[in-house]
Amino acid sequence: MKLKNFVLVGSMAVLGVAFTSCSKGEELYDSGAIVAQQKSEYATNFEKKYGPIDPNQNWDLATMHPISSLPSASFAGTRAGTRGEGDSEVTPVSVSEPTIASMDIEKAVLDWMHTELKAGSNNSKKGKPFYLKTQQQSFTIVPIYQGVASYYWELWMNVGGVNVPVWSKYKDITYYASSTSTTPETLTDQGVPDGAFKVHAPTYTYTATADKALYFFLKVWKKDEKGKDTPDMIVTSLDKKMLALEGAKRPEGVPADNDVTIIGCEDGSDNDYEDLVFLVYGKPTPPIVPTDEIEITETKRYMMEDLGTTDDFDFNDVVVDVENVYTQKIHLKQIANGGWDEDYREDPVFKGQRAIVRAAGGIYDFTLTIGNTTWSKSDDLTADQMYNTGWGNSTIYRTGMESELAKFDVTGWNPDKNNVSVTVVGKGPNDGVKTITFPKQGEAPLMIAVDKDVNWMTERSSVPSSWWYKVD
């Protein structure tokens, strides 16, 4: 895993401190010396916590793998998001927590799926890039089949801009090998056998705000990298890595007045789309909408410490995503059955750069500089409040939900040089102004860069040592 493959083997010289000379009895204050002392103490405490740092350690751990989504309503950034609970501001949550149950998927449904999605065949011409539109009614997601695959994955959905985890490979799904079987079999990498008599599957029922765009995506890991935080790739229904098959055979457990759509997913390159198959049902099922344009982002998540204390390693005092933004037009063609297929895609068009402040866990005012653009916490957020870090009663952050404290366009960001810094204004008379920049190799980091899949920590919870040590 890229996030965890840096071995700490060397030692690091403690940062030097340039104090002003003081005559006996004099009380001279040197802001620079105090800040240098704080950085020195931080470096010492960092090594106590995580061990010696290899002098070649690079703190840029981001892959910047491209991620597709639906286009933003407007590329022009806003100064802040929509106000939520407490005093924080977040992307509005547009989908409920799921009601979880289970149901049986009988052989007739599995046989219909196998007819439509023949294993080993190229089934890509059966589908199109798509998303769904939520209705007033609830809808249910049921994973019904897992094919032979060497990857590990998680199924997620994005509803109105909010990423929500749904299901992970193997979870709570079993099968009966024949009509005489009395004991369910657990899934292995070989998946559900083609001749299985029945699958016992989990069901996840959601209620969403009406008229929200919903698309699905898989976070995919190579089998031997299952435990790492950042997936090896992300495939989406917008990229035609999923096929929506309407008119599906209805499982007996689905109410008769509900519509059913079966969705087949491709996690590799053989294009049979049966690596994961799940169904969506509802009254009605959210309708399928062909996608003719997508937004592609390349993102780094910068996590920072503000030196409020020298033994705090939660890296949540400032969390900001910075991204290159592209759009890509998809041209569709109508096919014989009245559906749509993808004809071709235009080259991606660069639209600009954008920053999204995700968390602000410190109590200090700060000014964030990204390339040629600056943004100040005091402009939009109360300086004394900690945001989305599990502090007090004001937190609204939870795994799977991405907060949006502020969003704005930036210029001049160089992801290779990591030209990002934060200037922190102290509160006390002996607390200086601190400017924190991206660390050089071998330094104790006050800032790191990771992929946007990596979640920040709750207040005073240190990032795990596995982030710095190699995982065997």
DSSP 9-55: -S--PPPP--PPP--TT-----HHHHHHHHHHHHHHHHHHHH-PPPT
Q: CA gyration radius for the chain?
A: 25
Phi-psi map region of 35: left, alpha, beta (phi>0 left; psi -120 to 50 alpha): alpha
Report residue 6's pLDDT band, with 50, 70 and 90 as the boundaries: very low
- Say yes or no to pLDDT of 324 above 80: yes
Tokens read off for 277: 């198959």
Which has more confidence, 394 or 276? Answer: 276
Tell me which DSSP letter residue 119 carries. Answer: T
Region 384-395 average pLDDT: 62
Q: What is the pLDDT of residue 23?
A: 37
Question: Among 303, 297, 295, 251, which Cα is nearest to 277's?
Answer: 251
Digit-coded pLDDT (tens) for 123-151: 888 878 999 999 988 999 999 999 887 88
Residue 195's identity, in one-letter code, is G
Report residue 394's pLDDT band, with 50, 70 and 90 as the boundaries: very low
Q: What is the pLDDT of residue 171?
A: 94
- Say yes or no to pLDDT of 343 above 60: yes
- Which range has highest mean pLDDT (362-366, 430-434, 437-441, 465-469)? 437-441
Q: What is the pLDDT of residue 26?
A: 38
Q: What is the pLDDT of residue 353?
A: 98
Phi-psi map region of 388: left, alpha, beta (phi>0 left; psi -120 to 50 alpha): left
134 half-sphere exposure, CB direction, 13 A CA radius: 25
Digit-coded pLDDT (tens) for 280-289: 999 999 999 9
Q: What is the pLDDT of residue 381?
A: 77
- Say yes or no to pLDDT of 15 above 50: no
Burial 337-361 (b: 16+ CB within 10 A, else e): eeebbbeeeeeeeebebbbbbbbbb
Q: What is the pLDDT of residue 398?
A: 41
Digit-coded pLDDT (tens) for 173-206: 999 999 999 999 998 888 999 889 999 999 999 9
Question: Among 402, 316, 303, 448, which Cα is nearest to 2's?
Answer: 448
Q: What CA–CA distance (Å, rounded) separates 466 from 250?
A: 46
Q: What is the pLDDT of residue 11?
A: 38
Region 356-384 average pLDDT: 86
Q: What is the pLDDT of residue 429?
A: 61
- Say yes or no to pLDDT of 88 above 50: no
Give phi and psi for 162, each to the nearest 5. -105, 125
Q: What CA–CA distance (Å, rounded) separates 319 from 105?
A: 44
Tokens read off for 311: 């033994």
Domain locations in the chain?
A: 2-51+295-332+352-467, 99-291
Contact between 294 and 443 under an 8 Å Cβ cutoff? The reply is no
Q: What CA–CA distance (Å, rounded) separates 69 from 11?
A: 43
Q: What is the pLDDT of residue 20?
A: 35
Mean pLDDT of the chain: 83
Q: What CA–CA distance (Å, rounded) separates 392 from 369?
A: 28
- Say yes or no to pLDDT of 100 above 80: yes
Provide CATH code, domain 99-291. 2.60.120.400
Q: What is the pLDDT of residue 14?
A: 36
The residues facing 68 across adjacent strands are: 296
Poorest-confidence range of 85-94, 157-166, 222-231, 436-445? 85-94
Helix (H) or strand (E) holding 79: none
- Say yes or no to pLDDT of 120 above 90: no
Q: What is the pLDDT of residue 3?
A: 41
Poorest-confidence range of 67-76, 91-100, 187-196? 67-76
Digit-coded pLDDT (tens) for 414-429: 999 999 999 998 776 6
